[in-house]
A and B are shown apart, each in its own frame.
Chain A
Amino acid sequence: MFWKKRKHSDFQQEIQSHLEMEADDLAEEGSNPGDAKYQARREFGNVAAAEERFYESQRWLWFEQLWQDIRYGLRMMHHSPGFTFIAVLSLALGIGANTAVFSVVDAILVKTLPVRAPEELRILSWVRSEKEPVGNHSGYNMNDPQTGQPVSGSFSYPIYQLIRDHVSQFSDLVAFVPNQFTVTADGSSDFASGQFVSGNYFTGLGARTLLGRPILEGDDAAGKPRVVVLTYRYWEKRFGLDPTVIGREIAVNQRSVTIAGVLPPAFQGLYPGRALDLFVPMAMDAEVGPEWYSMTQPDNWWVQVFGRLRPGASEQAAAATVRATMAHVIETYEKNAEVPAVLVRPGGRGVAMLRNSVSNSIYVLGGVVSLVLLIACVNLANLLTARSAARSREMAVRLSMGAGVGRLIRQLLTESFLLAGTGGLLGLLLARPMLQVVLRLVSRSQALGVDARLDLRTLTFTAGVSLLTGLIFGSLPAWRATRVNVTPALKDSGAGGKGASPRLRLSGLLVSAQVALSLLLLVGAGLFVRTLLHLSAVDLGFRPENLLTFQTDPSRNGYEGRRLADLYARLLQNIAAIPGVESVGMSQHGLIQGVESDEDVYVAGTTPKSSERHWTQELFCSASFLSTMRIPLLLGRDLTPGDERAAQHVAVVNEQFVSQLLSGKNPLGQTFYFGRLPPTRDAEPIQIVGVVRDAHYTRVRVEPKATAYLPYAQNLKGLHQMTFAIRTALPPLAIASAVHKAVADTDRTIPVAELKTEEQQIAQSLATERMFAALVSAFGGVAALLAAIGLYGVMAYAVTRRTFEIGIRLALGADRASVLWMVLRQSLWMVAAGLLIGIPSALALTGLVRSSLFGIAPTDPVSFAAAALVMAVVGAVAAWLPARRAAHVDPMIALRYE
């Protein structure tokens, strides 16, 4: 319909035949033929006008006018490059930042998994309780989003098998479990995070490979040739996107395997956001997995299960059947057990772990970028209003010549949309680098496997935001511009007039709004900067300078127990022999890595209430660890190499341990046990031999808790990975290659992972805080600058309007200082009004970021005062130039001007 237009010639022909027929009729009625023709023509009226009206009725006139508006808009943009530059750049910044945040929000919170029919997928979980019949458990602990109950998604392998084979409500029931691997390829070893997956995992989910083939049912059985599937990011990181990797032999935990396929970038398993490197068939768990990930033990709960609910099947019925099946298995090892309630929840978006852990940062970011865009909008509305003031004569002329108000508004809006569209396009370009920043912001130190791309959904979002932006900042000025009172506007020579016009009042309001919004960002910037300063000033309790650290785990290469302990001892020796190394220590977790181990502790000779739990952090370490970290000894003695083979278990504890658990008794010689009361048979008494100062363990933010440092060799069963800490006389990274060599000389297949200095590790743990501070400060600066531009524009216009009045004042003897002050005062009023709105709004909003702050309250007076001061200074500076110009008005020229 839109494009079905009648040809002009067709219409001309119709009129032609009309004239002829009319002439025929007239001739029939008695006129002579020549007159008849003339008369017919006269009768018809103005043929050209009729044709023109026909032409206008056609739809494409609309496009013609649009094109006219666009050309006009482009010309306006070209004529005021400064205005266009500021407008487009501020919009690009705002739209780009919003696009970047949107694509991350979309990827983590909204998008469904890239699998077949994701709406059919269901997560299986069960409600945890005190009496749950579970032997060993590993998996996530989270709360069910619908009921808020604590749930687990882990089952034992026999339960999974039984559900898979007997619960008819599910068509595909897939199992997986995350695990860390050591991958050896091209002569080097490194850590890789992967998942054991059941043979039906890829076919059941309908996930395809980019290259090669996925893991299939046949691969998941004992005695088959072993294959693995790589994720795109690992293929890129480790193999440089080399397409010949298919069929190549690599080693996973020292077992030889063949690379069967590579997955597309979008597929990252069922934990959205968790970066994965490779997938390994579940059957390999028996060979290379942790010992207690048992395929046969019915009370070891570790495997996670997703299912595809058959069309028509109900979730309740499925849950009930799963529970009944579970009861069968539980029956075999625990009679009369309480079988936990089973939940079947939508799984189309995967497991919501990441959603919970990053959503806070995302909301703060989303708030900040929306503010930035809003400020850009207000700024543009203001600039456009000021410009429409300059164009009021043009508007008056056009209105008095008969132009329709609607037509004018349309033209002005087209100009706004042009600006917004250009800003949006540029914003898309900016969105790419911004996306990287956002990803680093929300991910903290862990690698984030979010497939956040600028795809069609993002493009749609950007287009929508651009359109909305154009409408927001364009409509008010456009409406305002066309409400010109024609006569005075035409009479007005442009410079005279008096006082504040309504337009100036609107601009003043907009400036105040800008000041208020900028203040919000500046207060945020102050809070985050001060948080970072407080965090940097925290006394960690150990000395992080000149420390090189790396992680390794030879247990995946087959070392265990005493052999592993001896290997670690050799590694310590070989590293200590490197020139430039002062001392070397190791611990099961590195400090400030965000990881901890804790256990319940019971001190001998005390009678705690049974409900009381004493979660105590433990750290198994080498004898040289505390001295290498420079954690000062306060009482007793340090751990010694002699402790490692001694029968008597010993520990060094920190001050928190003494004050919390020993209530002031002399700690030396006291013994404690791990575990709850009463101590189990194999619980060893541990004797306290020394006390050290409190030192931070997991994070800078987390105050030291009660901690016990224990000799690693007294825990042979739990001995796995270690983080080495090497104190050097040289800059730490200078010995990096020597460390690699020392480890390789000990055993070539042992990986050296995460090699970095302790200071880098700490900086990484504060990356989110640092980037929040930097980002919000940068945006705050931009906002303040935009506010300054807006204020300057309004004041410059006001001074121009009041030149005549100022001339009179000066002629009547006003001194220049008072004129200067008069203008400055007007601008400071606008700033003050902005602060009056901004400060209470900020007070109301900063509570939302409370959890991101450290060492200060959300109402931190320093941040508020600094932000207000910055805005006041910005206001004074922006008004200074117009004020100076006002003060230097020559009364003679000003009065002659009219």
Chain B
Amino acid sequence: MPTQSDQDRIVLLQGTLDLLILRTLVFGPQHGQGIARAIRHTSEDSLLVDHGSLYPALQRLEDQGWIKAKWGVSKNNRKARFYTLTGKGRKALTTETSQWRRLVAAIGRILGPEEAGR
């Protein structure tokens, strides 16, 4: 298990999971478990993906045509469903990312400089 306690983990905001999934898939096709792990590792264990919401999110993205899925074989020789980013998904990722950055910047301005001593 990771060393951090559960309290330090950030609960994902609604909608951000989609963005993270798309971002992860930029590096190539990946299965659900791989995506969850990648998000956790890349965020240095501070983001924990609730697996219960991961699959509905994947389903949703697939319905929107942003990703597509295909059964394949994992590195441990297990059957797994691999997801790939579509052209439409790539475009969506760009707009969503810039939107996210704007949101973060705006909220940051409102909250002001970080206070010490939390």
Contacts and interface: CB of A to CB of B under 8 A. Distances in A.
B109 interface: no
A51 B91 CA distance: 30
A50 B37 contact: no
Contact of B80 (A17, A39, A44, A54): A17
A61 to B, nearest CB: 13
Contact of A46 (B34, B52, B59, B60): B52
B81 to A, nearest CB: 5
Most buried by A among B33, B59, B60, B79: B33
A20 B76 CA distance: 10
B59 A57 contact: yes
A430 interface: no
A49 interface: yes
B51 A17 contact: no
Contact of B55 (A21, A25, A39, A54): A54
A57 B60 contact: yes
A131 interface: no
Nearest to B60: A57
Nearest to A50: B52
Contacts of B53: 53
A17 B79 contact: yes
A38 to B, nearest CB: 12
B33 A18 contact: yes
Interface in B41-83: 50-53, 55-56, 59-60, 63, 74, 76, 78-81
A22 B33 CA distance: 7
A353 interface: no
Contact of B74 (A13, A21, A49): A21
Interface SS majority for chain A: helix
A898 interface: no
A59 to B, nearest CB: 9
Interface string A1-45: 000001000010111011011101100000000000001000111
Contact of A44 (B34, B51, B76, B79): B51
Nearest to A15: B55
B81 A14 contact: yes
B52 A18 contact: no
Interface string B12-54: 0000000000000000000111100100000000000011110
Contacts of A20: 78
B106 interface: no
B52 A45 contact: yes
Contacts of B37: 25
B9 to A, nearest CB: 13
B81 A17 contact: yes
Contact of A49 (B52, B63, B76, B80): B52
Nearest to A19: B33
A74 B1 CA distance: 55
Contacts of A49: 52
Nearest to A28: B76
B31 A21 contact: yes
Most buried by A among B1, B37, B55, B80: B55
A24 B77 CA distance: 11
B78 A45 contact: no
Contacts of A18: 31-33, 51, 80
B89 to A, nearest CB: 17
B56 A57 contact: yes
Interface string A312-340: 00000000000000000000000000000
B32 A14 contact: yes
Contacts of B33: 17-18, 21-22, 25
Given A17-B31, A45-B52, A54-B59, A39 B1 contact: yes
5 contacts: A11-B55, A14-B81, A17-B31, A45-B51, A46-B52
